[in-house]
Chain A
Amino acid sequence: MPFQEAWVEADGFRIRYMEAGEGPVLVHLHGAGGLRLNPAHDLLCRRFRVIAFELPGFGAVENQRTQTMQELAATMAKACERLDLKRFDLWGTSFGGKVALWLAVQQPELIRSLVLEAPAAIRPEGTQPPSGSPEQVARRLYAHPERMPPAQMVDAEHSARIVALTRRLRGPDRDPALEAQMRGVAIPALVVFGTRDVVIPPEMGRIYKDLMPDAHLVFVYDAGHAVAAERPEAFVEVVGDFLEREDAFVISRNRTVILP
């Protein structure tokens, strides 16, 4: 794996990140499970300079200070500034999708395009993040749990801390303050859901389009909540194309000539 581990001091936190690749900068904010690289990162770093942050509190060091999504988003904007990232593409996964949206509404000038992978910013009432044994989590995250890579050993105390942090920060299932501001987002956005997501129903995707009419909605067939990890080639193909061509990514460049 070409990714290198590094740290940046920002907003009073020492923030870990993984970086690989050259080209336009693509910042990734992970889901509530923490920073885990998957084959989509490897594919994307062939075309982009991928910087995958670990959100403060989701790694080895506890975070008791951050109280809201807005604060977390502001911290991550500062981390980007410290890395001298002036304008970049932002990819947020699930919980990280909500952080990414807050970052986009708070500091739109930083963001070129936004990719929201199974975002958790709009949830049916009572939605809970996946928890339990690695097998139980796999069944919630993946349409085909056998595709989940072997779980890293995480001690129970660490897991409990992350669950508490997620609950504290995730905010309401529908957040009127965020949704009101989403209507004004002028950043090209791509919302991606797996057709077999059982954590957040893919039907939530249409609400993003209701709120952000210029956003694009794409379903990845036969993927669960962990879209990029479960079908990396399908995810990266559409994301890469969108980031490269923005709205024009809807125009096919497939060649269908079989024999000249």
Chain B
Amino acid sequence: MKVSYFETGRYHAPHAMPPVWPMPSGAYDQAAGTAVYQGMVDRITLVEKLGFDWVSLSEHHYSPRILTPSPPMAAAYLAARVHKIKFALPGPIVSHSNPVRLAEELAMLDTMADGRLVVGLLRGTTNEALTYDLNPQESRERTDEGMELILKAWTEPQPFGWQGRHFRYRTVSVWPRPLQQPYPPTFALGTSREAGEFAARNKIGLGVSYGPFDVMGKATGYYRDQCALHGWEPTSDQIIFRANIVLAETDAEAQRAMEAYPAQAAFALGAGVANALLELDTRNIAGESRPPSVNRALPINFIGGPDTVVEQIRRCREQTGAGIIDLGFNTPGSSDPDLLTASLELFGRKVLPHIRDI
């Protein structure tokens, strides 16, 4: 099993903030923000030393929860400071991006990072539709088309035009091209039938996230079935499972920490907007409808002391087939970066050495 550390850019607020999304930008504190980016460098240097395989960076907006609205920019900054660990971007939100620009930036990044880039292509969480005025009912189609355009931009050696449904270009010819050829390891992200089919058709990986192992297993099973229809079989390295972890020295300590874990997202949308989004945004797991996630705190999939977590990771592998876990380390009730560092060190010392043969 390979392990990725999900770096969220932890913002240690010097004063109380309203629990809303979007967070008023007037609530931002420059000194705390500056510390975020230095903290990222420190933690990534640490996880590289601890033996983590990847660090991952995600795109979110308008809140202190994840301070990397531009993952390629964050990765470029960090990749210059560490030299072995790979950078996974799961990912840039394709549905509201210019796909050609993404293809260019990711190719730049792969080249500058000496071929250490891993790409995830994401539809985006429901609230992100508000960020750049995206119609939530169009996000699925825009994501599918954008992903295909990015792959074409990386592989087509001649200038070309693109007559899409949502994107139209008359001239595309990206420079630089990715260092890794034909392109970096790339994953479609999501549990949906559409994501699984797209990944299978284009012979790329699949990343699923946050659901229970058996439910995520349905999505990865569907993906594998689709790959078989297209005449190939994905390796375990082509399935990522992104999840939250609460790790402590003992199970009891981890359970105590969970008492402070909220039921609601720390920064929630107003009820009117949230309800409207719930109606407009349709999601599914391998074709079975599921409600979009709005205002709920994400579940924790791995909870406990080191031995318990090792067993949970074993079950995760068995039920999802994932060969890579991408972990968000939680310290419920506190945004103190020192607690996060302690958790990472504990993982490196007492979990990592025991999961390599899983």
A37 to B59, CA, bound (A): 47
Instruction: Specify which chain B residues have a CB less than 8 angstroms from the CB of A206 in the assembled complex.
Output: 156-158
Do the beta carbons of B152 and A219 come within 8 Å of each other? Answer: yes
CB neighbours of A210 from chain B (8 A) = 158
Residues of chain A contacted by B170 (CB below 8 angstroms): 218, 238, 249-252
Report A216-246 residues with CB < 8 Å from chain B CB. Answer: 216-222, 231, 234-235, 237-238
Enumerate chain B residues within 8 angstroms of A249, measured Cβ to Cβ.
170
Cβ-defined partner of B161 (8 Å) among A217, A231, A251: A217
Out of B145, B149, B162, name the residue touching A218 (CB < 8 Å).
B162
B249 within 8 A of partner (CB): no
Task: Report the bound CA distance from A170 to B81 in whole Å.
Answer: 58
Q: How far is the CA of A220 from the CA of B168 in the complex (A)?
A: 10
Contact residue among A219, A235, A250 (Cβ-Cβ distance under 8 Å from B171): A250
Flag whether A195 is at the interface (Cβ < 8 A): yes
B156: nearest residue on chain A (CB-CB)? A206
A207 to B258, CA, bound (A): 60
Residue B272 interfacial (CB < 8 Å): no
Q: Is A221 a contact of B165 with CB atoms below 8 Å?
A: yes
Q: Which residues of chain B from 123 to 170 have a CB within 8 Å of any chain A CB?
A: 145, 148-149, 152, 156-165, 167-168, 170
Closest residue on chain B to residue A234 by CB atoms: B163
A219 close to B145 (CB less than 8 A): no
CB closest residue in chain A, given B155: A203
Given contacts A195-B148, A250-B170, A252-B170, contact A235 B158 (CB under 8 A): no
Q: Distance (Å) between the CB of B229 and the closest chain A CB?
A: 13
The answer to whether B158 and A221 touch across the interface, beta carbons within 8 angstroms, is no
Using CB atoms, name the residue of chain B closest to A223.
B163
| C-alpha gap A210/B163 in the complex (Å) | 21
Interchain CA distance A222-B197 in the complex, whole Å: 14
Q: Is the CB of A195 within 8 A of B160?
A: no
Contacts of A219 in B (CB 8 A): 152, 160-163
With A and B bound together, what is the CA distance between A250 and B165 in angstroms? 18
B150 to chain A, nearest CB (A): 12
- A213's nearest neighbour on chain B, judged by CB, is B158
Q: How far is the CA of A250 from the CA of B173 in the complex (A)?
A: 13
Complex CA–CA separation, A210 to B156 (angstroms): 12
Chain A residue nearest to B159 (CB atoms) is: A217
The residues of A that contact B171 with a CB separation of less than 8 Å are: 250
Q: Does A87 contact B (CB under 8 A)?
A: no
Contacts of A222 in B (CB 8 A): 145, 164-165
Nearest CB of A to B231, in Å:
13
A209, B164: Cα distance in complex, Å: 21
Cα distance A127–B163 in the bound complex, in angstroms: 26
**Contacts A195-B148, A222-B145, A250-B170 known; A231 to B163 CB distance under 8 Å?**
yes
- Supposing A221-B148, A249-B170, A250-B170 touch, asked if A237 and B163 sit within 8 A by C-beta, the answer is yes
In contact, A221 and B157 (Cβ under 8 angstroms): no
Which of B157, B159, B160, B168 is the most central at the interface, judged by chain A CB atoms within 10 Å of its CB? Answer: B160
B162 touches A221 (CB 8 A): yes
CB of A96 closer than 8 Å to a CB of B: no
Interface hits, B46-88 → A, CB 8 Å: none
Q: Tell yes or no: A205 within 8 A of B by CB.
A: yes
Q: Is the CB of A217 within 8 A of B158?
A: yes
Provide the bound-state CA to CA distance between A62 and B145, in Å.
Answer: 44
Proximity bits, B216-256, A CB within 8 Å = 1, else 0: 00000000000000000000000000000000000000000
Collect the chain B residues with CB atoms within 8 Å of residue A231's CB.
163
Q: Which residues of A contact B167 (CB under 8 A)?
A: 221
Cα of A86 to Cα of B207 in the assembled complex, Å: 58
| Nearest CB in chain B to that of A237: its residue | B163
Most interface-central of A210, A217, A221, A238 (chain B CB within 10 A): A221
Taking a contact as CB atoms under 8 Å apart, the answer to whether A209 and B158 are in contact is yes
Instruction: Find chain A residues with CB under 8 A from B158 CB.
Output: 205-206, 209-210, 217
List chain A residues, Cβ under 8 A from B157. Answer: 206
Q: What distance in Å separates the Cβ of A50 from its nearest Cβ neighbour in chain B?
A: 20
Name the residue of chain A whose CB is nearest to the CB of B162: A219
- What's the least CB distance linking B155 to chain A, in Å? 8
Does the CB pair B149–A221 fall under 8 Å?
yes
CB distance from A180 to the nearest CB of B (A): 20
Residues on A with beta carbons closer than 8 Å to the beta carbon of B160: 205, 217-219
Complex interface: chain B residues within 8 A of A250 (CB): 161, 170-171
Q: Which residues of A contact B152 (CB under 8 A)?
A: 195, 219
Distance between Cα atoms of A53 and B47 in the complex (Å): 68
Name the residue on B nearest A249 (C-beta). B170
A238 touches B163 (CB 8 A): yes
Q: Which residues of B contact A238 (CB under 8 A)?
A: 161, 163, 170
Q: Which of B148, B159, B161 has the most CB of A within 10 A?
A: B161
- Complex formed: what's the CA distance from A237 to B165 in Å? 12
Name the residue on B nearest A208 (C-beta): B158
The smallest C-beta distance from A220 to any residue of chain B, in angstroms, reads: 5
Query: In the complex, which residue of chain B has the Cβ closest to the Cβ of A207?
Result: B158
A 186-207 contacts with B by CB, 8 A: 195, 203, 205-206
Whole-angstrom CA separation of A203 from B165 in the bound complex: 21
Known: A221-B145, A250-B171. A235 touches B161 (CB 8 A): no
Question: In the bound complex, how far is the Cα of B162 from the Cα of A222, in angstroms?
Answer: 11
- B157 smallest CB distance to A (angstroms): 6
Report B163-200 residues with CB < 8 Å from chain A CB.
163-165, 167-168, 170-171
Q: Which residues of A contact B164 (CB under 8 A)?
A: 221-222, 234
Subset of 5 A-B contacts with CB under 8 Å: A209-B159, A217-B160, A219-B161, A231-B163, A238-B170
